[in-house]
Amino acid sequence: MSKRRLNESSSAPQQPPAKKLASIFAPRGSTPFKSRKLGPKQTCWHGVWGEPKGSSKVLALDLDGTVVVPKTGKKFPEDEFDWKWWDASVPGKLKQMHKDGYSLVLISNQAGKPKQQEAFFRKIPLLGAALDLPLQAFAALGYDQYRKPGTGMWDLFVEDFNEGVEVDLEQSIYVGDAAGRPLRTGHKEDHSDTDRKMALNVSLPFLTPEEFFFKEPNDPNWTLYGWDPKTHDHSLPLFLPTNIPLLPRPFSEFEALKPEVVVFVGSPASGKTSLFTKYFAPAGYVHVNQDTLKSRPKCLTAVRDAITSSQSCVVDNTSPKRAIRKEYLDLVRKEFPGTTIRILHFTAHKDLCVHNSLYRAATRGSQREVLPIIAFSSYFSNFEEPKDEEGFDSIQKINFKFEGSDEEKQRWQRWHDCFFQKPKNAGKGTGKGTR
């Protein structure tokens, strides 16, 4: 770690409470520990003990249940002192890896209460002092792109905190206990599968603590839970039925098109605004959006104004309920008889939409925030499938297709399910051995 970087990271030093330190943990000389919070919403904590050097070989480890366990035997540690090594061999093994040229990086989900997070921040320098090895630690403090299996913490390390040294993925290792293993002799089933998923996301060789520290043979018995973005079918037609064009076509170049109203129905992050931008904006459609206009009456007024001035428009709101859609239908049928009003229904399911939201937020340089889970649950619990009898001129379905470069698509296909731990009574999951 360069001096410059250490200085940069000194804005919010988190020093271990000196009076509480047991003497064997007291670092020699000045405290070689710095930390700060990163990310647009400061939801990624980064701590540095000593002066880690950039290395192409990285040993990344989950912390709880992998490097340490609470010595009280509780599920969650009581405070920063409530830890012991996962096994007595841990410090020796880590020292050997450091000697062999590996950078040590701890990667931990810590979306707990502020008090637990503070204890975690104080624990890292205690571990650093006990190991007496240079190391870095990342902690995801919220439910966003940093939380495993999301790759925000790893990406930050690779891009900004390895002194510009490119990581050799084949030579590097990620060790974690959240590996999707079932109940097995002497062990409970794993509480989740997020460590294995994160390793898969970034193509890091993955080992469980047993495989890494005890050299146990690779256990093929594991299952990944939840929705796997690799399973999404991007080959369906963009819209169905296909006999109605997405945009009306004039019969001849002399015929002016009559203005129309297109009502979108779809969850947040189902691709509505992207579709508008790609097809409807270039065709001169007015964008009517409640996030911008702030109220439905204002959206209705915007529709009225558009048609009055002979402009087509798109109502780009979620509009899950029939009663909401009826307001636009009634306006058009009463005030502009003969004007077409039709529905485009974005069929993307909830997991897919949550995934899109996380993907967008995780995209470098994106200003978008992860939407709260309630935004999705609210849409889907209110959703009433658009039906012919509602009286619209047509209803078409829009299938979600990811659009981007091959590299972007690969990133889109990463597991991003930070909201979902293994569901209770999950039954059979998906993805076993497939990735």
Q: Is 210 in the site for Mg ion (CB under 5 A)?
A: no
CB of 66 to Mg ion, least distance (A): 5
User: Before 241, cis peptide (omega within 30)?
Assistant: yes
| Pairing mode, strands 33-38 and 44-49 | antiparallel
Among 65, 91, 112, 142, binds Mg ion (CB under 5 A): 65
Task: Give Cα 329 distance to the centre of its chain.
Answer: 37
Residues 158-187 that bind Mg ion (CB under 5 A): 177
Torsion sign (Cα): 130, 131, 136, 141: negative
CB of 157 to Mg ion, least distance (A): 18
Of residues 64 and 210, the one with the C-beta less far from Mg ion: 64
Other Cβ atoms less than 10 A from the Cβ of 425: the count is 5
Q: Is 64 in the site for Mg ion (CB under 5 A)?
A: yes
Q: How far apart are CA 162 and CA 171, in angstroms?
A: 15
Q: How far apart are CA 220 and CA 180, in angstroms?
A: 10
Fill in the DSSP letter of residue 146. Answer: T
- CB contact at 8 A, 196 and 224: yes
Among 62, 210, 260, 417, binds Mg ion (CB under 5 A): 62
- Comparing CA positions, the residue from 184, 165, 176 lying closest to residue 200 is 176
Q: How far apart are CA 194 and CA 65, in angstroms?
A: 13
Judged by CB under 5 A, how many residues of this single chain contact Mg ion?
4
Of residues 152 and 259, the one with the C-beta less far from Mg ion: 152
Q: Is 190 in the site for Mg ion (CB under 5 A)?
A: no
Q: How far apart are CA 257 and CA 376, in angstroms?
A: 36
CB of 147 to Mg ion, least distance (A): 13
CB of 167 to Mg ion, least distance (A): 22
Query: By three-state DSSP, how is residue 350 classified?
Result: helix
Of residues 64 and 316, the one with the C-beta less far from Mg ion: 64
Of residues 70 and 248, the one with the C-beta less far from Mg ion: 70
Of residues 276 and 420, the one with the C-beta less far from Mg ion: 420
Task: Give Cα 317 distance to the centre of its chain.
Answer: 23
CB of 341 to Mg ion, least distance (A): 53
The H or E element containing residue 175 is strand 173-175
Q: Is 80 in the site for Mg ion (CB under 5 A)?
A: no
CB of 333 to Mg ion, least distance (A): 58
User: Considering only 60-68, 69-77, 167-175, 209-217, which stretch makes contact with Mg ion by CB under 5 A?
Assistant: 60-68
User: Considering only 57-65, 208-216, 286-294, 417-425, which stretch makes contact with Mg ion by CB under 5 A?
Assistant: 57-65
Of residues 64 and 351, the one with the C-beta less far from Mg ion: 64
Q: How far apart are CA 37 and CA 43, in angstroms?
A: 7
CB of 248 to Mg ion, least distance (A): 55
Q: Is 70 in the site for Mg ion (CB under 5 A)?
A: no
Residue ranges binding Mg ion (CB under 5 A): 62, 64-65, 177
